[in-house]
Structure 1
Amino acid sequence: MSMLSVQDLDVRYGQFRAVRSVSFDIVKGEIVALVGANGAGKTTMLRALAGANRVHGGAIRLNGVDITHTLSHLRVAAGLALVPEGRKLFLDMTIEENLLLGRTVGRPGVWTVDKVFETFPNLVKRRHALTGTMSGGEQQATAIGRALMSNPEVLILDEVSLGLSPLVVDQVYASLDNLLTMGTTIILVEQDLTRAMAVADRVICMLEGRILLDRAMEQTDRAEITQAYFGQGYSAVGEPA
């Protein structure tokens, strides 16, 4: 059974269809890279999965349970956590206080404050510092750590490297190495295609709200993904035009 199943998902802003009839299934432990140009519908879809955007049509199931219209905090309690674009931290709270917010859902699991600091050692010395005084890399690590504190079964990472220097991105990904090998189911939005291809088992490419390519990473290559990214030679769901 799929860990996460999305069927004919339709998300709209007024009359504008931002996500159009999107369907896919993700199994436990799979790491999926979600790619596409700005405006392709990636963030809108992820927010719909997390309960932040209202679903106009279709269905979302987590572990076989329909969560299409479940409130967002109940989705976290059910095992789905989103690290949103822009991080959305409480800047007047410390790192530790932000992390502890992730524990409020009460899900059992291995993630504790100490384990987050073990995974992101750059945060240790800033444990009691206000989040608003931290660098972009430290804030991103804190946002990921806060999501992990809910002990999710599905972790969604939206634009992990956005706004960070290449050196800081390297540091964040180095800290994520253990997470990526722990069997956590992950959806990763990453503009750096080389980095996405290095860590993901599978790639889904979106354009104008639709999926143009959905394929195991070992069965595709950079050229094919780039073609789908720009819609060259594709009509819908990976079928050649």
Structure 2
Amino acid sequence: MPVVTLTAISVALTKIADDKANQLLVGVSEGLHIVKLIEETLDRSGELESIRKAADVVWIAVEVYRKWDDMDLKSARIRGTTHRETLQNLSSIAEKAVTEFMAQTTDILMQNPLNWPARVIAANSMYRIAQTILVGMGDDEHQDDDELFESISITISDILAGCLTNLVQVITLKRHTNDIKEREKSLRRVTILLGESKQILEILQERELPSLDVEKASYIDEWRASMALDIENPPAPVSASSSDNATVV
């Protein structure tokens, strides 16, 4: 979900040329194809399925229609005169969606963000990430849209890189499926996956990535902690723990 949310923010930036945004969308789309297989394989209990479904819904809208929460990312309602104003608009819209949902629901199950509707999961992700970027910017008025776009692109790359370090574990799990037919199907998928990820793996070997154990490598918060990011996440718009903490993308 964070990758999809960050991409939506990038598309909304005021002065970013369409060709740069389109290039980012193509790259993220290719990465998400592999990441989805990794997440589905590692999340054996299906605990994070609601987040994956929410990310799928948001991604289709962003990639195909350049929309988020059914709003044009280039509309005046979202795009401000500066990137700071754009981030504040996205944050406010997202916060309103979450707080209104929590005010209206009486279902005790909704205290767990993993049970929220896709729209609310997406809104909570947008609020937290937009606020994180705003806090990181501080009072710096000199950063332009291109610099912010580059910074977000690097963050997306880092998150995808973190997820892709789980490729070896996924391939191993796919090879050891007990059912013969399922194993043959898995091996075919592994072969395709290896071909698609060869170049990505070469890039990862050149990156200085944190050393995490297998379990921790599946979670974005472990990557944040390991990289010792000095930007503290603001609280979610509700007291419940954020659904963002539970998944990589």
Question: Same fold per TM (> 0.5)?
Answer: no
Q: Please give the TM-score of this superposition, normalised by the length of structure 1.
A: 0.26
More strand by share: 1
The structure with more radius of gyration: 2
